Amino acid sequence: MKTDELIKISTSLCAGSSILVVFLIFGYTFLEGLPVLIKYGPSFLTGLYWKPYADPPQFGLLPTIVGTLSVSGLAISMATPIGVLAAIYLAEYSGGGFLKSLIESATQLLVSIPSVVLGFIGLVFLVPTLAKTFGGWGFSILAGGIVLAIMTLPHIICISSDAIKAVPREYRYASLALGASRWQTIRRVVLPVAKSGILASIILGLGNAIGETMAVLMVIGNPEVPYIPTSILDRVRVLTSTIVIEFNYAVWGSDQMRALFAIGVTLFIITAVVNLVAFYILGGRIYAKKA
């Protein structure tokens, strides 16, 4: 009896550690960023100029936030149609067998492929190709969007196809028995029922896209002074890339370093909200058995 109690307590501590870790991460990042957040107030988020080396330094994040949203938005709008179509195929049409497991394995592989490898290929292949095709730098919102679309696609496929698979068979039988065709059944019966799950997969994809660092960083150009982009061929900065780039130069304890932590807090809050929305849409079960 005694061992059982001991095991129960120690495993519950393991489970509880996830709570502790989240509090530690948020607490330390927040405390480190707080002085800058207090000093600059709302102008940290709405300011137009990010000039950490000016005197006095300016920390305005608006162009970077616009950059983040445009890159992620572009990625999601490219990945969503392909992802949902692929999910429909995997859940409804494919019969199983070798081909299906090949597709699923490749999708799983793409989920965790090192993002720096993707960024490197973007840098040596995608960026020069875009520069040749459209002129200009090649480093652009478009390049970032394409790379991010590749990274979010497998997430959308996995979660959407699980949402579609979860629709009870009886719904399909009822529709087919009424004489509806297969596609009519999918469009009028299956997809409306799976709608919230598919929506959640898109929201989660967006959260991933906003938090992604290396792959995006290497292809978006990161101008010295970020500006509000006016075309998808403009170079931009995103929240994550600003942290990595300036981390090398910022001095521990300086306002610039604190500003980077304040960006971290901003990222934490944005992605937490995005993920929690998806969490509630899915009723507390985000990840599928296989993803």
Partner 1 sequence: MRRRPEILMEVLTWIASFIPAIIAGTLISFLLFNGASVINWKFVTGFPERGGLEGGILPAIIGSIYISALCMLIAAPIGIGAGTYLAEYAPENIFTKVVRFFVELLAGIPSIVIGLFGYVFLVHGLGLGFSILSGAIALAFMILPWTIRVSEEAIRAVPREYRYASLALGASKWKTIRNVVYAAARPAIITGLMLGLGKAVGETAVVMMTAGMGITGYIPVSPLDSARTLPVHLYLIAGEIANTSEGLKMAYGTALVLLALFLMVSIPSIMFRNYFIRRLYGDAG
Contact set for partner 1, span 83-122 (CB under 8 A):
83, 85-86, 88-90, 92-94, 96, 101-110, 112-121
247 binds partner 1 (CB under 8 A): yes
Nearest to partner 1 of 14, 177 (CB atom): 14
Residue 159 C-beta: closest distance to partner 1, Å: 13
Nearest to partner 1 of 60, 83 (CB atom): 83
Number of residues interacting with partner 1: please give it, by CB under 8 A: 93
Residue 156 C-beta: closest distance to partner 1, Å: 10
Q: Determine the Cα–Cα distance for residues 214 and 254; give it in Å rounded to an integer.
A: 24
232 binds partner 1 (CB under 8 A): no
| Terminal CA-CA length for the chain | 37
Residue 119 C-beta: closest distance to partner 1, Å: 8
Nearest to partner 1 of 135, 284 (CB atom): 284
Nearest to partner 1 of 93, 231 (CB atom): 93
Among 8, 53, 77, 173, binds partner 1 (CB under 8 A): 8
- Contact range with partner 1 by CB under 8 A, out of 59-67, 172-180, 192-200, 268-276: 268-276
Residue type, 165: K
Among 17, 77, 129, 133, binds partner 1 (CB under 8 A): 17
Residue 43 C-beta: closest distance to partner 1, Å: 22
The set of long-range contacts for 73-76, using a CB threshold of 8 Å and a minimum separation of 24, is: 74/141, 74/142, 74/144, 74/145, 74/148, 74/149, 74/232, 75/144, 75/145, 75/146, 75/147, 75/148, 75/149, 75/151, 75/152, 75/205, 75/209, 76/149, 76/152, 76/202, 76/205, 76/206, 76/209
Residue 192 C-beta: closest distance to partner 1, Å: 16
C-alpha angle 49-142-124 in degrees, rounded to nearest 5: 105
Nearest to partner 1 of 141, 147 (CB atom): 147
167 binds partner 1 (CB under 8 A): no
Tokens at residue 277, please?
A: 């929305």
Q: Which residues inside 171-230 make contact with partner 1, applying CB under 8 A?
A: 181-183, 186, 207, 210-214, 218
Residue 233 C-beta: closest distance to partner 1, Å: 21
Residue 106: other Cβ atoms inside 10 A: 10
SS3 state at 212: coil
What are phi and psi for residue 223, nearest 5 degrees?
-60, 150
Closest CA to 213 of 159, 280, 260: 260
